Chains A and B, each alone.
Chain A
Amino acid sequence: MENETLRDLKISGITSTSGGLFHNVRIDGIGKVVGDLECVDFHASGKSNVNGNVKTNLVHIQGMTTIQGNMQAKKAVVHGHAAIKGYLMSDDIEIHGSLSVKGNCDSERFFARGSFSIEGLLNADMIDVTIHGYNRVREIGGAVIRIRKSPTRFARMFKFPFFTFSSKLVTDSIEGDEIVLEWTQAKIVRGNHITIGPGCEIGRVEYKNDLKVATEAKVKEHEKI
């Protein structure tokens, strides 16, 4: 992309504009983009809605963003709330707020400290999730999958377990080489090295090398293959 010839797109008030090819895109107010958006940097702080696909290098979402199409980005950081109606493809995904994806979510690294819901397959080399809130994924696949939970600050302060009960991760299947789970509900877990921690409810575990199950976990059946 020739950066010199590309213009920036900045929305600060309430505007609707058409998509296209840009250098930096920055939306601070309430912005609506109609059409596909291709840019180097996509930064959304207000409430924004893109009626098309987004292809960018770095995407940073701090407000509330809805993308009606697919999103492709080198790096995606979500601090606010992002809803993507298509698939999300990125090398690096970081979630501190909340993310919902209708399609598949492909990434080399998937790092989540917020909540997310993915209706397709979450496919990433390294999946690192700290559970906050209710997370739903249809399928998870990758090399290293770590799902842990640290109690919320409020709950930790009062040692009050109520807030921690509803937050968990629910999925149909998890497949990976190295899997560490906590507070996860899954129908089936397949992998080489599996550690199942407290709060898990697993239907069936199929493992190749080793399996560790914490006493607080519920595993209906397990089999070494």
Chain B
Amino acid sequence: MTRKKIYRPLQRNIVMLHFIQGGVLVNMDENLISKKELLELTGISYGQLYRWKRKNLIPEDWFIRRSTFTGQETFFPKDKILARIDRIINMKDDLSLDQLADMFSPNPAEASLSIEELMKRNIVSQTALNLYLDQYGERNIFAFAELLSLYVLEKLLQTGEISLEEGKNLIQVMEENYKKFAGKECELLLIRKMGISIFLLLSSAADLFLETRAKVVVRMNLANMIEELKIILS
């Protein structure tokens, strides 16, 4: 009996640890790549990897520490890190590391665009823009947060995943709540059940379980959207 008592908290701790690391561990389907393989595959050196980490080009929570038979090893989510390193290597000649860090950070950029600029650069279609203006009244200048809602709206309308009516709800949820998530990894979800749709904003990667008839229609990482938008704007 006494033995059980000693071990129970320990077991709980182990479970807890899995949850804490969870951000990535939960997504077990995501394949991982070890640091060694990563360096071999991409041809970068330890010095570069650590420099990029230091400059926040690679977020801290992509470094997943696991024990292997040779001791502690660091793993990365494979698709994310390969895409990121590819982008860094391609862009590091044009931009400084600090500028790159700004681009990859989930923090909103200091940017604003006028309507003419938006249409000219073809960032947003007329339909999406009209929908937005209907909801929030006429305006000429868009700040970054508003551009982001517009961009996401445009994206989802174009893939046909949402209807115009749902688009209104999307704008509302983005405008009202996105500020609370500023600077954090955040996901946008659209869940539909029997014709009723609900938008959700989730901070970081959480596990989600739904009843059988409900369906996740859209699951979108807003940090990626921010990154894309920043690239378009710059």
Q: Closest chain A residue to B55 by CB distance?
A: A106
**Complex interface: chain B residues within 8 A of A106 (CB):** 54
Whether the pair A188, B47 counts as a contact (CB closer than 8 A) is: no
Among B42-67, those with CB < 8 Å from A are: 45-51, 53-54
Chain B residues with CB under 8 Å of A123's CB are 50, 53-54
- What 0/1 pattern do residues 1 to 44 of B give for CB contact below 8 A with A? 00000000000000000000000000000000001100010000
Other than A142-B47, A188-B71, A192-B45, give 20 A-B pairs with Cβ distance below 8 A: A123-B53, A123-B54, A124-B50, A124-B54, A125-B51, A141-B46, A143-B47, A144-B47, A172-B71, A172-B72, A173-B71, A175-B35, A176-B47, A177-B45, A187-B72, A188-B72, A190-B46, A203-B71, A204-B71, A206-B36
Q: Can you name 11 A-B residue pairings with CB atoms under 8 Å? A: A106-B54, A124-B54, A142-B50, A143-B46, A143-B50, A172-B71, A188-B71, A188-B72, A190-B36, A204-B70, A225-B40
Is B45 touching A187 in the complex (CB atoms < 8 A)? no
CB–CB B47/A177 < 8 A: yes
B46 & A175 in contact (Cβ 8 Å cutoff): yes
**Which residues of A approach B to under 8 Å, CB–CB?**
106, 123-125, 141-144, 172-173, 175-177, 187-188, 190-192, 203-204, 206, 225
- Cα A175 to Cα B47 in complex, Å, equals 9
User: Binding site of B, secondary structure by majority: helix, strand, loop or mixed?
Assistant: helix
- Chain B hits for A225, CB < 8 A: 36, 40
A177 partner, pick from B40, B46, B54, B71, beta carbons under 8 A: B46
CB-CB under 8 A from A143, the residues of chain B are 45-48, 50-51
Nearest-Cβ distance from residue B72 to partner chain A, whole angstroms: 6
Contacts of B48 in A (CB 8 A): 143
Q: In the assembled complex, which residues on chain A have CB atoms less than 8 Å from the CB atom of B53?
A: 123, 141
Tell me the complex Cα distance, A141–B63, Å.
Answer: 13
Complex Cα spacing A177 to B45, Å:
7
**Distance from A160 Cβ to chain B, minimum over Cβ atoms (Å):** 36
Look across to chain A and name the residue whose beta carbon is closest to the beta carbon of B47: A143
Q: What residues on A are CB-neighbors of B36 within 8 Å?
A: 190, 206, 225
- Asked if B71 and A141 make an inter-chain contact with CB atoms under 8 angstroms apart, the answer reads no
Residues of chain B with a CB closer than 8 A to A203's CB: 71
Contact of B72 among A141, A144, A173, A206 (CB under 8 A): A173
Closest 9 pairs (CB-CB, A-B): A143-B47, A141-B50, A177-B47, A106-B54, A175-B46, A177-B45, A188-B71, A123-B50, A176-B46
Which chain B residue shows the least CB distance to A225? B36
Across-interface contacts of A175 in B (CB, < 8 A) = 35, 46, 50
Chain B residues within an 8 Å CB radius of A204: 70-71
Nearest-CB distance from A105 to chain B (Å)? 10
**How close is B62's CB to chain A, nearest CB, in angstroms?**
14
CA distance A192 to B44 in the complex (A): 12
Counting chain B CB atoms within 10 Å of each CB, which of A125, A141, A190, A206 scores highest? Answer: A141
Point out the residues of chain B lying under 8 angstroms from A187, CB to CB: 71-72
A47 and B43 alpha carbons, distance in the complex (Å): 48
Contact residues in B for A191 (Cβ distance below 8 Å): 46
The chain A residue with its CB closest to the CB of B48 is: A143
**Measured between alpha carbons, how far is A202 from B149 in the docked complex, in Å?**
53
CB contacts (< 8 Å) of A177 on chain B: these are: 45-47
Q: How far is the CB of B8 from chain A (nearest CB, A)?
A: 28
Which residue on B lies nearest to A206, using beta carbons?
B36
* Alpha-carbon distance between A123 and B71 when the two chains are bound, in angstroms: 20
**Which residues of A have CB within 8 Å of B45?**
143, 177, 192
Q: Are B70 and A188 in contact (CB under 8 A)?
A: yes
Bound CA–CA A190/B46 (angstroms)? 9
What is the CB-to-nearest-CB distance from A40 to chain B, in angstroms, rounded to a whole number?
A: 20
Which residues of A have CB within 8 Å of B72? Answer: 172-173, 187-188
- Shortest C-beta distance, A110 to chain B (Å), equals 11
